[in-house]
Amino acid sequence: MSEDIDITQLETPELLELIQDDLYDGLAEEVVASVNELLAREMTPYDVLNKGLVAGMDIVGADFRDGILFVPEVLMAAKAMKAGMEILRPLLVETGAPQMGTLVIGTVKGDIHDIGKNLVSMMMEGAGFNVINLGINTDVDAFLEAIREHKPDILGMSAMLTTTMPYMAVVIEALEQEGLREQLLVLVGGAPLNDAFAEEIRADAYCRDAAVGVETAKKLLAIKRGELN
């Protein structure tokens, strides 16, 4: 539909709304065109990101959580988001815009499932986070190395199997021993997990799906940074 719209004729607030609609519909080219138009109007890259892309992905995330959207729509939205981000990322670095935070994420050792974890990665990127995705079958040394290198705010661990989920506890124990635990939020997810498990292994939270993951990450980070109580 939006190909019929001359975006140069839209007021900026309407254009921001259009970006959100196009993200929702997974229209990458349209999102890119609107991002470029907003930049041409000298909106800061940071505002384009937050008022356009992140606000749009918030809606996608909420509808995914509520069972209105499913994985295919979210993946298409994330692709559109990514296309917009490719333009914004170098500009954000250039302008020294504040970062949402960094996430290191991986599927734990022994487990090769990565659809859910990749969905979380995309949604977190969509929320403006810098994401380092370690892939599948990630052992404790790989997690520790990545944490030392990237100094993330959040560690995300995923497991699809009842036989692999206990490995998350191994990683958390290693973080505690190495004195790295306090600097991080640890979020865990995967089909067989639940809140009680997260509590038992001393993770900060269990996240039922990718949308809840983003919400939880934002909320707990804000609390940790003293922005919320």
Binding site for other proteins (CB under 8 A): 67, 69-73, 75-76, 109-115, 136-137, 161-167, 169, 191-192, 194, 196-197, 200-201
Distance of alpha carbon 141 from alpha carbon 64, whole angstroms: 34
Minimum distance, C-beta of residue 28 to other proteins, in the bound complex (Å) = 11
Minimum distance, C-beta of residue 95 to other proteins, in the bound complex (Å) = 32
Residue 90 vs 192, nearer CB to other proteins: 192
Strand pairing partners for 158? 107, 189
Minimum distance, C-beta of residue 2 to other proteins, in the bound complex (Å) = 19
Structure tokens at 219: 């909320």
Minimum distance, C-beta of residue 38 to other proteins, in the bound complex (Å) = 26
Residue 133 vs 164, nearer CB to other proteins: 164
Residue 16 vs 107, nearer CB to other proteins: 107
Distance of alpha carbon 129 from alpha carbon 113, whole angstroms: 22
Structure tokens at 105: 């994420």
Residue 139 vs 215, nearer CB to other proteins: 139
H-state helical runs in the chain:
12-24, 28-40, 45-47, 55-65, 71-94, 115-126, 140-150, 167-177, 195-200, 210-224
Structure tokens at 206: 């269990």
